[in-house]
Structure 1
């Protein structure tokens, strides 16, 4: 195994160990020594790749962002209407957050680092803002948004919904299906306020199909 290949393998071991520990214990309760022990590497090997716990967490956020935004961009690359892309993409992203360890850790760390450093959190939120804003503006150009709504405000609202749904479901520990159900409820509330009159029925029907595809929603609580 060449030096470059070994370095890549070591970096992956460090990141995998950090993802596991940050997910299990949280950012504040995990030390670099814990990561060294879990990865079974030397202190020098860790510091060769990362000079601090924050830089390690930021690398995880960047990798997670690339994975999640890549999935969203895959949805956006279709010929579907942009508002449909935002609905479909939101389900894809939340499903990944629930089932993909890296995606979940990236989201958790973006929130955790926001309390200590803007750098890591900015990476996560900036990319999200760009991706969703692009689609919201496209939806406006396609005539699927109400003429009295600002596409940039629509994008910010959708991002806030995604973050809020994941945060609430994590806090209540109610699981992935519940998270996707809450997302369905949020879109049911949002669509009448943002979709054009001519497009509303189509996107409401699309939402119904998407919610079934990603997990049968339950009725709202009484």
Structure 2
């Protein structure tokens, strides 16, 4: 078990180091030598987990979606709040998580044409579609809205503001740009009663993420209590 845990930690260290190098240099300019130096592991350790730079880059790209909370992971006022929170949490985490930044750099850059970059776009679109469908079933979404079309619009627009914010000021204003996007978009998506209750204020991403982390801790503590409490007590 200790050996397995060590292998998991080593793999994660390599992923995080690679993400930093990819974020700084891009796929084509990044080298295995730089990644090894950053991760402080041997070449054998790296190739034990990843057969090539391309496979390593794909693993970094694939790390993007699991970083985002699943729909329904915490109670929220509405599915449309959940939709907004997904984008605002992402903006918040992008400033703090090097693995996420590396994943986004690889997804959005135009070099390294051999990389299959569509996974995050498809994943984000599917996730947004799911939330919009559930919102429509609950009467939160305007009748004319086609969930899949709206999801594609949100994902595409978000990718655009993300790229622009990165180029202009290293994403220092990404939260503001995301807020402006949702302020303009959500009146065309949500029914007025739901729209009036949406929280799209500055700091919402951090607050929503804190709520999720607290819910996870509470759930883990409840599970632990059930395991140690004798039956019938």
In structure 2, the partner of 1:117 is 114
- Paired with 1:61 and 1:44, the residues of 2 have a C-alpha distance of 22
Q: Which is bigger in relative contact order (C-alpha 8 A, separation at least 6)?
A: 2
Deviation sequence 1:83-118 (CA, Å, 0-9, x none): 111112211111111221111111111223785135
* One of 160, 167, 173 as aligned partner of 2:169: 173
- Paired with 2:72 and 2:189, the residues of 1 have a C-alpha distance of 21
In structure 2, the partner of 1:84 is 81
**How many angstroms does 1:14 deviate by?**
1.9
TM-score (norm 2): 0.77
In structure 1, the partner of 2:190 is 195
Q: Report whether the alignment pairs 1:107 with 2:104.
A: yes
- Paired with 1:174 and 1:45, the residues of 2 have a C-alpha distance of 33
TM-score (norm 1): 0.81
Deviation sequence 1:128-172 (CA, Å, 0-9, x none): 122111001111112222211211112111112221221110011
Contact persistence 2:16–2:98 (CA under 8 A): no
**How many angstroms does 1:2 deviate by?**
5.1
Deviation sequence 1:174-222 (CA, Å, 0-9, x none): 543x11111111112112222224444333xx33xx335459xxxxxxx
Structure 1 unaligned runs (5+)? 216-222
CA RMSD of aligned residues (A): 2.5
In proportion to residue count, which structure has more helix?
Answer: 1
Q: Aligned with 2:99: secondary structure? A: helix
- Paired with 1:202 and 1:186, the residues of 2 have a C-alpha distance of 17
Distance verdict in 2 for CA 1:197–1:62, change over 3 Å: same
